[in-house]
Amino acid sequence: MAEVKKVQQSKAKKIAISLLLTLMMLVTAQAAEITSVIPIGHTVGIQMSADGVLVVRLNDVQTADGAVCPARDAGVSEGDMIVKVNGAEVASNDEMQKQIALSAGQPVELEILRNGETQTVTATPRADTDGVYRIGVLARDSMAGIGTLTYVDPETGAYGSLGHGICDGETGVLMPLKEGSVLYSVVGSVQRGEVGEPGALQGEFQSDVPLGTVNENTESGIFGTLTDSSLYSSLESVPVAAADEIKVGEAEILANVEGDKVQSYSVQVVKIYPQDDEYGRGMMLRVTDQALLEKTGGIVQGMSGSPVLQNGKIIGAVTHVMVNDPTCGYAIGIERMLEEMTN
């Protein structure tokens, strides 16, 4: 639960109160083949670059004639993705600002992506008091944070992590992925969770030690391929539980809350949700392990993706903490993650 951290806190608050016939048959067959995976439970650093520039906020440009916001006047909204400026693709703030500067105050066409649809609007940049042409957009083109690896398919290296998507912390928009990587990390300290204030793992990751790629950012987690097997080469596979095998009662989670050590902690599955739950919840968990309660206060940000096991099978992954009770949280069902990975 990481910048990832802001993301999880935002979503936790919301929940504590989301071809061809031949190809379709092939996808179904692939999903059915994944009957066992290796649960991991180790934290990783996650770096992602967006496929475009996400508008986080619209700001006024202070000009000699007063405050104006050309982007707002053109119809740009917070949460839009700016993908082109005057026909040139932009993948970063720098690239967007360069195109705006080249306009020298002439109108620019902005191609934006909103709710899956492409639109084109025209904005006229204005010079600020320093003479820099701007359109009044505060944007984000990347993010990084700490999360937990849930599982890996040892046959292919395909993995699933987090159990929820990486969204912008201010707009709540799922970040369209251009490219990303997972990196080796260790947990240096823990901010304990308290009622009304979720805790967090304080981790460090090594940008020069990539473990694999991030290929998809979805509502059910991030997915990709591990190119380094060091986190799972000595671990064993476990069966994947079907949804009807998950029961209310004792279970365990694998979590990395200190250094690079992964440990098992006892939890209770206290409620099971329908598979079509609108918030993506598979089950509600309560932490019962005294060692984990003393260390973290319960579920904290950064534990998103911690695998949940019951009766020797993997049943899901931790996704959210309840803001008003950090000993409780939610988990996604493992079948839902695997279906997303193979689609």
Contact in structure between 300 and 326 (CB atoms under 8 Å) = yes
- The catalytic residue positions are 164, 289, 304
Long-range contacts from 243-246, C-beta under 8 angstroms, 24+ separation? 243/275, 243/282, 243/333, 243/335, 245/311, 245/313, 245/315, 246/272, 246/282, 246/283, 246/310, 246/315, 246/316, 246/333
Q: How many CA atoms lie within 13 A of 223 on its CB side?
A: 16
What is the tens place of the pLDDT at every residue in 136-171? Answer: 998 888 888 899 999 999 999 999 999 999 887 777
Contact between 40 and 235 under an 8 Å Cβ cutoff? The reply is yes
Tell me how far apart the alpha carbons of residues 214 and 179 are, in angstroms, rounded to a whole number: 7
Q: Would you say the pTM of this structure is higher than 0.75?
A: yes
In the three-class reduction of DSSP (H, G, I as helix; E, B as strand; rest coil), residue 177 is classed as: strand
pLDDT in tens, 223-275: 999 999 999 999 999 999 999 999 999 999 999 999 999 999 999 999 999 98
The residue extents of the domains of the chain are: 4-50+142-342, 60-135
Please tell me the predicted confidence (pLDDT) of residue 61: 95
Determine the residue type at 106: Q
Class of domain 4-50+142-342: mainly beta
**Per-residue pLDDT tens digits for 47-89:** 998 888 999 999 999 999 999 999 999 999 999 999 999 999 9
Positive or negative CA dihedral for 319, 180, 212, 336? positive
**1 pLDDT higher than 60:** no
Share of the chain above pLDDT 90, in %: 74
Q: Which two tokens stand for residue 93?
A: 């703030």
CATH among 2.30.42.10, 2.60.40.1180, 3.30.420.10, 1.10.10.10 for 60-135 = 2.30.42.10
